[in-house]
Structure 1
Amino acid sequence: MAGKIDARLKDLGIELPDAPAPAANYVPYTLCGNILYISGQVPLRDGRVAYTGKVGQDLPLEEGQAAARTCAINIIAQARAACGGDLDRVKQVLKLGGFVNALPDFTDHPKVINGASDLMVEVFGDAGRHARFAVGAGSLPLGCAVEVEAIFALRD
């Protein structure tokens, strides 16, 4: 029987991909006690980068938000892998960190990363509310528009 979070994902029309493999010499997540640290996720879809370029120059704000949402979907896929398939183990989304590939004069980083933050609340409800940072970067791996990392608290 599917759990509460799986049912919520289905209601939202979200099908999680398999957790993306790391692109370099790191692991996709680490678990220390009940704290889950998820490495930065880029906007991969079907094994390909779905959003590249600088937000505000190559991509409008709305596409930057969609890129952040895609990163968040990949974060949830990593959390599912870390939880042995049981997303109901997520007690709280503690923190998201968002990096936006943008020019120095771009100032809407928080609006971009709302694409990830909003999804966490849609999926996890009040447990999806989190602390956060959103900063600009001159470039990101693979030319990605956005990268998002996460910290979760898990139930036993």
Structure 2
Amino acid sequence: MDSMTTSTASDIAAIDQIEARLHDLGLQLPPPRERMGNFLGAVRTGDLLFLSGQGTDRYQGKVGRDLDLDDAYAAARDCALYLLGLVKAELGGLDRVCRVVKLLGFVNCVEGYEQTPLVVNGASDLLVELYGEAGRHARTAVGVAALPRNFAVEIEMVVQVSDR
């Protein structure tokens, strides 16, 4: 089960500005999850960091049948938290992100479901809330027949990073 509990003030003494914003929102980064195959969670080339797709165990099943739009939006928000957890594990901090470049969102949904962009807004809205204009990004949101572990949503991300 996912652990996205609220941290205490003493826990955030030495964290960066983005993590402080997360704390203010009552959110905490989950630990990186074990990979299910022969791939990396993150690959950096130049100033771009490519992050493998992340889902959340808290929201499983088909959107439009097992989950409504509000639950799916929350699932996408959780996916963004997992992605940010990968960023922190790879870079040591979230303030090293200069720009969120691209999201690719997959929604495990019933045939004919047309609200995938509204679902993936759960991740997009959080990233803009945290990074402001630098959090606005290009994006694709698609509906799929199935996702690993029966995730309702899975999202991958590309960010531009600095060496500061």
* Partner amino acid, structure 1, of 2:134: A
Structure 1 counterpart of 2:120: 113
Q: Say which of 53, 58, 80 aligns to 2:61.
A: 53
Residue deviations 1:83-131 (CA, integer Å, cap 9, x gap): 12x2111000000000000122110000000001001111111111100
State how far apart, in whole Å, the 2-side matches of 1:60 and 1:95 are.
25
- Structure 2 residue runs of 5 or longer lacking an equivalent are 1-13
State how far apart, in whole Å, the 2-side matches of 1:10 and 1:59 are.
27
State how far apart, in whole Å, the 2-side matches of 1:35 and 1:17 are.
22
State how far apart, in whole Å, the 1-side matches of 2:51 and 2:112 are.
29
Structure 2 counterpart of 1:132: 139
TM-score under structure 1 normalisation?
A: 0.93
RMSD of aligned Cα (Å): 0.9
- Structure 1 residue runs of 5 or longer lacking an equivalent are 44-48
Structure 1 counterpart of 2:52: 39
* Partner amino acid, structure 1, of 2:44: L
Structure 1 counterpart of 2:107: 100
* Partner amino acid, structure 1, of 2:119: V
Structure 2 counterpart of 1:16: 29
TM-score under structure 2 normalisation?
A: 0.88
Between the two proteins, the alignment pairs up a number of residues equal to 150
Q: Does 1:70 align with 2:78?
A: yes
The percentage of aligned residue pairs carrying the same residue is 46
